[in-house]
Amino acid sequence: MKRRESRNRYDRYRQGRLKSGRSLFSPGRKSKKAADGQPSLPARLGRKLAAALGKSLKMVFLTLVTVAALAALSAVLVAAYLYVSKSDYFSVKKVTISGITHSSREEVLAAAGLDQALNILAFDPDEAAGRISILPWVDQVRVARQMPDTVTIEVAEHRPKLLVSIGRLYYLNERGEPFKELAPGENPDLPIVTGFNEDELLSPGPSIRSAMAEVLFLVETLARRNDEFRLDNVSEINYDLVRGLTLFTKNNRLEVKIGFGAYEEKFRRLGRVLAHLKLRGKYEGLVYINLEASPRVTVRYAPGSTGLWRQPGRLSAEMRDQGAAVWRVTGSDRKAAS
């Protein structure tokens, strides 16, 4: 019964639509939303499209304004840089250099690029320091600029400690590193180290570094002495891989075979021996001393020297009382018991 009523209502609805000339699928009455005055779907889509277009145009406009502002700022900065870079206000007018003794001011200025007019903004302190450090006497360097017109250069030079002979003479610093070849006219009063070759010293391996450390230890010991074996009275220090170190004095060309290690003790003992030799008038004619066979000391005189001992046994006993010993006196072909 209900199904039939529904069917009759549908038939009446269809007949009414056909009589009015409207399609079954065309919209009939306005929806409640339309009737209430709200916009239709096309209107809403149009508004959304207009809003999106407006935002896009706004973004484009802001982008153009930003680009124009950046371009203007860049132009201002470039103009300002060109003005400053050519302005005499920022040209380097004062260069302070400290710590140079062997290097000349002109050498440092030329290496830093400050021997000509230069704007301080175009000056690179790190690059200048790298060029200055190449100078032979320069060990360390620090370069800084102080606006608007000042550059400061602080130099620490190598301190020459010794000379080394490797076919040519080079200065050695306190680390035992060669840093400059001896130039014509230079005549430093420094001991000369021998026994190394050029390849060993310019590219030292562990054994060579250890050997040079031994040389420096000996030099430190000699620097503390105030007798004939003080450092400024030493003309040469020779290195031998097997026998160790040997030094030669300036005044009487006395040769002292030292060996390796225990330098303080060896020279303390030698000092006592020489004190007795001088006391007995036996120092003259002494040409060779050997400290290798510690705690014994071997001495040798020049042929025909008047310093040869006539009573070696008694003298060596006296020396033994002082904590030293003479092992052999070869100049007279006689032995002194230690």
Identify whether 47 is part of a domain: no
- Same-domain status, 265 and 202: yes
Question: Is the same domain home to 262 and 326?
Answer: yes
Residues 291 and 258 in one domain: yes
Q: Which of 11-15, 231-235, 252-256, 327-331 has the lowest mean pLDDT?
A: 327-331
Domain that holds residue 135: 89-157
26-35, 75-84, 110-119: which has the minimum mean pLDDT? Answer: 26-35
**Separation of alpha carbons 118 and 91, rounded Å:** 6
pLDDT at 207 over 50: yes
- What's the angle, vertex CA 74, arms to CA 71 and CA 78, rounded to 5? 140
10 band by pLDDT with thresholds 50, 70 and 90: low
Last residue of a domain, one of 106, 129, 157: 157
Cβ-based burial of 107 (10 A; exposed 0-12, middle 13-18, buried ≥19):
middle
Q: Are residues 116 and 172 in the same domain?
A: no
Number of domains in the chain: 2
Rounded mean pLDDT of 9-31?
55
Does residue 244 carry a pLDDT above 50? yes
Do 142 and 180 have their domain in common? Answer: no
Domain check: are 191 and 296 in the same one? yes
The answer to whether 328 and 336 are in contact (CB under 8 A) is: yes
Could you tell me the CATH number of the domain that includes residue 132?
3.10.20.310
Same domain, 184 and 315: yes
Note the pLDDT of residue 75. 76
CATH number for the domain that contains residue 276:
3.40.50.11690
Q: pLDDT tens across 257-313, in order?
A: 999 989 999 999 888 888 888 888 888 888 899 998 877 888 888 886 655 544 443
What is residue 296's predicted lDDT score, i.e. its pLDDT? Answer: 83
Please report whether residue 213 resides in a domain. Answer: yes
**Whole-number mean pLDDT of the chain?**
80
Q: How confident is the model at residue 112 (pLDDT cuts 50, 70, 90)?
A: very high
- pLDDT at 77 > cutoff 60: yes
User: What pTM, to 2 d.p., does this model score?
Assistant: 0.66
42 pLDDT more than 90:
no
Per-residue pLDDT tens over the stretch 169-195? 999 999 999 999 999 988 899 999 999
Higher pLDDT, 50 or 316: 50
Residues 265 and 315 in one domain: yes
Other residues' Cβ atoms within 10 Å of the Cβ of residue 229: 19
Q: Of 148, 153, 147, which is closest to residue 130 (Cα–Cα)?
A: 153
Task: Say how far residue 277 (Cα) sits from the centre of its chain.
Answer: 51
CA distance 137 to 152: 18
Number of Cβ within 10 Å of residue 118's Cβ equals 16
Instruction: Give 88's pLDDT tier (boundaries 50, 70, 90).
Output: confident
31 part of a folded domain: no
The answer to which of 4-13, 61-70, 157-166 has the lowest mean pLDDT is 4-13
Beta-sheet strands, E only, within the chain: 94-98, 138-146, 150-157, 162-165, 169-172, 178-181, 192-194, 234-240, 244-249, 255-259, 286-290, 297-301, 326-329
Q: What percent of the chain shows pLDDT beyond 70?
A: 71
Note whether residue 241 is domain-resident. yes
Please report whether residue 270 resides in a domain: yes
Verify that 306 and 239 share a domain, yes or no: yes
